[in-house]
Amino acid sequence: MTAKPFDLTGQVALVTGARTGLGQGLALALAEAGADIAGLGSRPMPETAERVAGAGRRFVEIVRDLEDSSGLDAVVGDIVARLGRIDILVNNAGIIRRADLLEFSEADWDAVMTVNLKSAFFLTQAVARHMVGQGIQGRIIQVASVLSFQGGIRVPSYTAAKHGLAGLTKALANELAPKGITVNAIAPGYMDTDNTEALRADPVRTRQILDRIPVGRWGLPQDLATAALFFASPHSGYVTGTILPVDGGWLAR
Closest C-alpha to 93, from 202, 26, 39, 16: 16
* 188 φ/ψ angles, rounded to the nearest 5 degrees: -65, 150
3-state secondary structure string across 16-43: ECCCCHHHHHHHHHHHHCCCEEEEEECC
Provide the angle, in degrees to the nearest 10, between the axes of the packed helices 225-232 and 21-32: 50
Distances 183 to 10, 151, 160, 173, 180 between C-alpha atoms, Å: 20, 24, 20, 5, 10
The residues near 214 (Cβ < 8 Å, ≥ 6 apart) are 248, 249, 250, 252, 253
Which residues are tagged catalytic?
Answer: 158
How many whole angstroms separate alpha carbon 93 and alpha carbon 81?
A: 23
pLDDT score at 3? 58
The residues near 23 (Cβ < 8 Å, ≥ 6 apart) are 15, 16, 17, 39, 41, 90, 92, 93, 143
Q: Within 10 A of 9 (CB to CB), how many other CB atoms are there?
A: 10
pLDDT score at 145? 98
Q: Which helix (H) or strand (E) holds 117?
A: none
CATH of domain 12-192+221-244: 3.40.50.720
Exposure class string for 74-107: b at 16+ Cβ within 10 A, else e: ebbeebbeebeebbbbbbbbbbbbbeeeeebeee
The answer to whether 34 and 88 have CB atoms below 8 angstroms apart is no
pLDDT score at 222? 95
How many whole angstroms separate alpha carbon 78 and alpha carbon 224?
A: 28
pLDDT score at 2? 52
* Domain regions of the chain by residue span: 12-192+221-244
Mean pLDDT of each 10-residue bin along the chain, 253 residues long: 80 97 97 98 97 98 96 98 98 96 98 98 98 98 98 96 98 98 98 87 92 96 97 97 98 95
Strand boundaries in 64-167, DSSP class E? 88-91, 139-143
